């Protein structure tokens, strides 16, 4: 792991503190900057995890001076951080703004001059972390222009790293092209492809739970596990992002990245150590082991749906096609479910059911590991009733924790078995849990890419989902991008009422196997 000049950190703290660096955020006038990135930096600074010598440079097209930019950031902190003014006096002094065009070399030459001045004034040696919070179509151009003006690759003054937001490509071909263009400027170890789900405490705890506990590690295989469910449910709609979602859909927006990341962590083989490449090597192996979905297997094991008008939280909400920016005959999926098989020794024969959707009954992300029943019921003649399967549930959001469901005898003379829950909540920890972006920004500044996706990992995920996009008629074409409204109408688009748990066809996906979805 590349940790150029990492400081030892705050006395008494196990956290590491990075060496002095400049964070340059492209797209600094956007919502991600105000809602997530600056509150994360503020929290890091409050905890003493930013170096004393640090600078933040925001880059955007909007005409704005330094003071106006700082004022907007401070207002965002008041809204999204409980005590947003507490350390702003120090952090605010380290902020600069640069107006520039993402495709103009002259703008990047001006940025070089600003960086040299800021680093000289702040006493920063030349470590630079570039964060692309821009529309995806600007990623490759920004990287190439950074290289053209000498801000990419290796140089003797310090490190240069680049953080890229999702989506990283639109299918396998575009992901490969973007990787190739970025790697003409930056080496793989300098590229940090961010998936904020990997910064969540419970997601990181999946590996700790699996590998650090002798109770569960021996059970994590086909001998004891009946099936696994992974669900990412959202109760919100488009929130003004209709134009984006029409080009994305649930498959690109959630399945290709967040859901496959969770699946790889749950199912991968134990790495030899918690080392950057050891962990990511096992994730890539797992993705390659997922049985491809093509032809009849794709038609039988992939369900796509689209919400219609309904009620969420007691409030009437419109259907997807009535949302702003959505075509009246849109074929874009707002829900999808898949049955996957992993062809390796550990998981042969164990189905993994994954689903995600908008306007569902509740916001919830969880992993449900369902164990095989006991091989013999000693209580079959006692009237104890049907014994339920044991469930291990990893709650990822909104209430982070772990639950275990098992059978216990009810008090009384008769043998009656009742399902009971044993639960752990992350709220029981006294320490404040860091937000996902807080953790990921710190790791990028330290040069630790364990929680970021590697090139082969991104391409392996796209290799799995691109045949689905092709079957739906939603891949890129030479004439342009095929949007949701021109999807393949031969592939069923199953309606479901907003506020429900998805289309009936998704329920049937499990029911034909004698199983059912867990209701969060």
Catalytic residue set: 258
Contact 389, 228 (CB under 8 A): no
Selection from 13, 16, 35, 1 nearest residue 435 by Cα: 35
- E-strand ranges in 94-202 read 95-99, 128-132, 160-164, 191-193
Cα separation, 331 vs 487, in Å, equals 5
Measured at the CA of 410, the angle between CA 404 and CA 412, to 5 degrees, comes to: 165
Contact 36, 133 (CB under 8 A): no
Radius of gyration for the chain, computed over Cα atoms and rounded to the nearest angstrom: 24
Beta bridge partners of 227: 370
Contact 332, 246 (CB under 8 A): yes
Phi-psi region of 319 (alpha: psi -120 to 50; beta: other; left: phi over 0): beta
- E-strand ranges in 100-207 read 128-132, 160-164, 191-193
**Pairing state between β 351-357 and 335-341:** antiparallel
Provide the 8-state DSSP code for 450. T
- Phi then psi dihedrals of residue 114, to 5 deg: -65, -45
Cα separation, 71 vs 98, in Å, equals 15
| Residue 57: strand, helix, or coil | strand
**Pairing state between β 476-477 and 480-481:** antiparallel
Angle in degrees, 0-180, between the axes of helices 260-267 and 201-211, rounded to the nearest 10: 20
Cα separation, 264 vs 279, in Å, equals 10
């Amino acid at each position: 792991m590349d940790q150029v000049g990492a400081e030892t950190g705050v006395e008494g703290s196990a956290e590491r503190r990075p060496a002095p660096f400049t964070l340059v955020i492209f797209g600094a006038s956007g919502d991600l900057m105000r809602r997530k990135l600056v509150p994360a930096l503020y929290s890091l600074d409050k905890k003493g995890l930013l170096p004393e010598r640090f600078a933040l440079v925001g880059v955007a097209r909007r005409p704005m001076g330094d003071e106006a930019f700082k004022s907007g950031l401070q207002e965002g902190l008041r809204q999204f951080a409980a005590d947003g003014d507490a350390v702003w006096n120090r952090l605010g002094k380290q902020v600069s703004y640069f107006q520039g065009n993402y495709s103009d070399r002259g703008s990047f030459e001006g940025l070089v001059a600003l960086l040299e001045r800021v680093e000289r004034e702040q006493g920063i040696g030349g470590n630079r972390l570039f964060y692309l919070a821009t529309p995806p179509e600007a990623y490759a151009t920004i990287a190439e222009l950074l290289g053209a003006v000498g801000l990419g690759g290796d140089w003797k003054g310090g490190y240069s790293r680049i953080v890229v937001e999702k989506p990283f490509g639109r299918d396998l071909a575009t992901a490969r092209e973007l990787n190739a263009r970025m790697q003409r400027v930056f080496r793989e170890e300098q590229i940090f492809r961010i998936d904020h789900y990997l910064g969540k405490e419970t997601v990181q705890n999946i590996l700790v739970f699996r590998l650090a506990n002798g109770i569960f590690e021996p059970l994590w295989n086909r001998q004891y596990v009946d099936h696994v469910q992974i669900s990412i449910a959202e109760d919100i709609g488009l929130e003004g992002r209709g134009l984006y979602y029409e080009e994305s859909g649930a498959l690109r927006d959630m399945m290709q990245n967040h859901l496959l990341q969770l699946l790889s962590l749950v199912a991968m083989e134990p790495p030899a150590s918690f080392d950057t490449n050891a962990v990511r090597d096992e994730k890539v192996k797992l993705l390659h082991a997922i049985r491809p979905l093509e032809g009849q297997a794709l038609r039988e094991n992939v369900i796509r749906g689209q919400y219609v008008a309904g009620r969420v939280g007691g409030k009437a909400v419109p259907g997807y096609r009535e949302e702003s920016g959505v075509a009246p005959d849109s074929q874009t999926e707002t829900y999808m479910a898949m049955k996957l098989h992993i062809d390796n020794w550990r998981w042969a024969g164990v189905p993994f059911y994954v689903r995600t959707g908008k306007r569902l009954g509740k916001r919830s992300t969880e992993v449900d590991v369902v164990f095989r029943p006991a091989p013999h019921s000693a209580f079959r003649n006692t009237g104890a009733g049907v014994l339920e399967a044991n469930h291990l549930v990893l709650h990822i959001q909104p209430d982070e924790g772990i639950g275990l469901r098992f059978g216990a005898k009810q008090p009384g003379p008769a043998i009656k078995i009742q399902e009971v829950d044993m639960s752990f909540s992350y709220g029981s920890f006294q320490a404040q849990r860091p937000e996902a972006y807080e953790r990921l920004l710190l790791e990028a500044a330290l040069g630790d890419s364990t929680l970021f996706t590697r090139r082969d990992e991104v391409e392996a995920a796209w290799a799995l989902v691109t045949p689905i996009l092709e079957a739906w008629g939603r891949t890129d074409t030479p004439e342009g991008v095929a949007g949701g409204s021109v999807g393949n109408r031969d592939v069923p688009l199953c309606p479901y009422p907003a506020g429900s748990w998805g289309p009936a066809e998704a329920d049937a996906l499990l029911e034909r196997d004698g199983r059912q979805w867990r209701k969060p």
